[in-house]
Structure 1
Amino acid sequence: MSTPLDLTGVFPAMCTPFDDDERIDFDTLQTDAQRLETAGVDGLVPVGSTGESATLTHDEHVRVVEAVIEAVDDVPVIAGTGSNNTREALELSERAADAGADGLLLISPYYNKPEQRGLVDHFRAIADAVDLPQIVYNVPSRTGRSIEPDTAVTLAEHENIAGYKAASGDLGLIGEITERTAEADFSVLSGDDALTVPMISVGATGTISVAANVEPERTCAMVGAAIDGDYERARGLHHELGPLFRQLFVETNPIPVKEAMAIRGNMPARLRPPLSRLSDEHRGDLETILADLETERTSVADASSESDR
């Protein structure tokens, strides 16, 4: 049985920075991991969809995992190791485990669209072979197939399958899974920033978040408040972040978040083809939203400083 992993809180789905020649910028990657750890996140998730894993070689994939592990001191690193090829996902998972990852995030097979029994066989094959906590990832908009509640409940019986990342937008499905796995050692995590607070209200334990790359402190405050049952504060923070949540998905993820990271000075906006830079029509709106968030942050800090006098 794998070492337990606390899946409560905020786990940014990290971006992968590239230099002018489209090579991975490992210095910037490690600096970004340290920035997020300092901001108070509960773990890091490199080389997922937001990390452009689809355009990384297997060797690059493992080197990113190794670099993030090396950069941080006290947060778990959950490596994205999914594939639509079970053998390939197993190989990536084994290599991530050898690199020292604390857990794995496994997207359901995409394009070939297996039936639910095929999904069970796929995830069980990896869980049987790799002794790490594993999160199955449901994002039917990318894969063309949903991991249904019966399948999730069946998978939750495996000692190495620790959680379910939900990015279907179906709150009914999510509520059913949290209800039916309530007695299991199994966590449901939001994979949709705009639904994180509603998901926690029906039993989710946190989020694997895109927005936390840009606003880690505020995302942590929002999730912490919701977990503590302070829904008035959680709702307020959700509304503050709402425009950012929406803007980060006006084009395919991670195009907008890479642009936001560049605007904030955290990394270049470069993406590997076939992804392209955020269009000009959306960049202005993103700049305005980020500026407004900075203004709100400054106003809160000034108010706090006044009250301490």
Structure 2
Amino acid sequence: MFQPKGVIPALVTPMDQNGNLLEGALRRVIDYTIEGGVHGVFVLGSTGEIYGLDHEQKKRVLEITVDQTAGRVPIYAGASEITTRDCIKTARLAQEVGGISAVSVLTPYFVTPNQEELKAHYKAIADSTNLPIILYGNDDKTNVSIAPATCAALADVENIIAIKDSSGDMTKMAEYIRLTKGKEFSVLAGRDTLIFGNLCYGGTGAIASTGNIVPSIVAGIYDAYVAGEVEKSLELQYQLAPLRIAFGLGTFPVVMKEALRLVGIDVGVTLSPVQEMTKENREKLIEVLKTLNVYQIK
């Protein structure tokens, strides 16, 4: 079974003012991140504004990603919808396009299923596709938590192979790792400040939105760790932290798109109602990017 590992950037979806896909910009982001040394690419995630894309746009993002990646790294795709039915529809779309290594499914949002309902939800999605499934918990965004015991139970489903944990709760992530030890199951950090911590506890990497902007630094945390260069890995984690924290300078996910523009890749706008960053906060972001030696716009 496929094993998710390494650093996989959750890519933005470039769009113009009218919400049209900027295909050339998406290809540039894919090349930029792969050339930066990442170990996979992830599209149609929350950073990719899946919630604002229609069916044809989702399909086109998948097609472009498969074409541009050209087998260089594994491709992960989001299938994060509110209902089980719609998650299945998007997962099947990824399977139909082909070339996708695994599908990530966020817990439902707006509705708040209990743990038994979550188990049934994920089992139904897993049964609907031949693709490997990655559970995805982001407690702050959805107000739904995947309990460690629920994760351990779902890890016994043949094609549920991993969890991405964006809770920011190190104890919870450690419990995911402990309770699935010995199973063919991976635990990925979804909070970019905890990649090093994930690896120390026995996790296998991260799905990290900062990888859009500084792919070599983020990938370096993993590469240094697996090479036994633990101090270097920790130092790179320290370097990365201010950028991840700077994501709070604007409404999600506008800071990622603005940061990409500031490193030389124009990925257009964030879907309304999200507005541009304030001038003051943009200047703060610029200072962080200068510290990381990636600021390009003069």
CA distance in 2, matches of 1:231, 1:238: 11
CA distance in 1, matches of 2:42, 2:66: 10
How much does 1:275 deviate?
A: 1.5
Aligned pairs for 1:56-75 within 5 A: 56-73=53-70, 74-75=72-73
AA at the equivalent of 1:211: T
CA distance in 2, matches of 1:138, 1:250: 23
Aligned pairs for 1:171-182 within 5 A: 171-182=170-181
Quote the residue 2:23 is aligned against.
Answer: 26
Note if contact 1:16-1:47 (Cα within 8 Å) is conserved in structure 2.
Answer: yes
Quote the residue 2:9 is aligned against.
Answer: 12
Q: For this pair of structures, how many residues does the alignment match?
A: 293
How much does 1:269 deviate?
A: 4.4
The equivalent position to 1:78 in structure 2, one of 59, 76, 79, is 76
* Structure 2 CA distance for partners of 1:206 and 1:295, relative to 1, 3 Å: closer
Aligned pairs for 1:15-164 within 5 A: 15-73=12-70, 74-100=72-98, 101-164=100-163
Partner of 1:114, secondary structure, is coil
Q: Does 1:275 align with 2:277?
A: no
Partner of 1:294, secondary structure, is coil
Root-mean-square deviation over aligned CA pairs: 1.4
How much does 1:218 deviate?
A: 1.1
- Of 31-40 and 45-54, more deviation after overlay is shown by 31-40
Query: What TM-score, normalized by structure 2, do the two folds share?
Result: 0.95
CA distance in 2, matches of 1:10, 1:259: 22
Partner of 2:164, secondary structure, is strand
Q: Which runs of 5+ in 1 are unaligned?
A: 297-309
AA at the equivalent of 1:289: V
How much does 1:107 deviate?
A: 0.3
How much does 1:5 deviate?
A: 2.1
CA distance in 2, matches of 1:178, 1:119: 19
CA distance in 1, matches of 2:200, 2:250: 28
AA at the equivalent of 2:5: T
Aligned pairs for 1:142-291 within 5 A: 142-291=141-290
Q: Which runs of 5+ in 2 are unaligned?
A: none
CA distance in 1, matches of 2:294, 2:73: 30
AA at the equivalent of 1:194: T
How much does 1:291 deviate?
A: 1.3
AA at the equivalent of 2:61: V
Partner of 1:110, secondary structure, is coil
Task: Give CA-to-partner distance per residue, 1:225-251, whole Å, 9 cap, x none.
Answer: 233443211111111222112112333
Note if contact 1:205-1:227 (Cα within 8 Å) is conserved in structure 2.
Answer: no
Task: Give CA-to-partner distance per residue, 1:22-42, whole Å, 9 cap, x none.
Answer: 211011111211221222211
AA at the equivalent of 2:86: E
Query: What TM-score, normalized by structure 1, do the two folds share?
Result: 0.91
Partner of 2:144, secondary structure, is coil
How much does 1:66 deviate?
A: 1.2
Task: Give CA-to-partner distance per residue, 1:90-111, whole Å, 9 cap, x none.
Answer: 0010011111122101001111
CA distance in 1, matches of 2:121, 2:20: 32
CA distance in 1, matches of 2:74, 2:145: 27
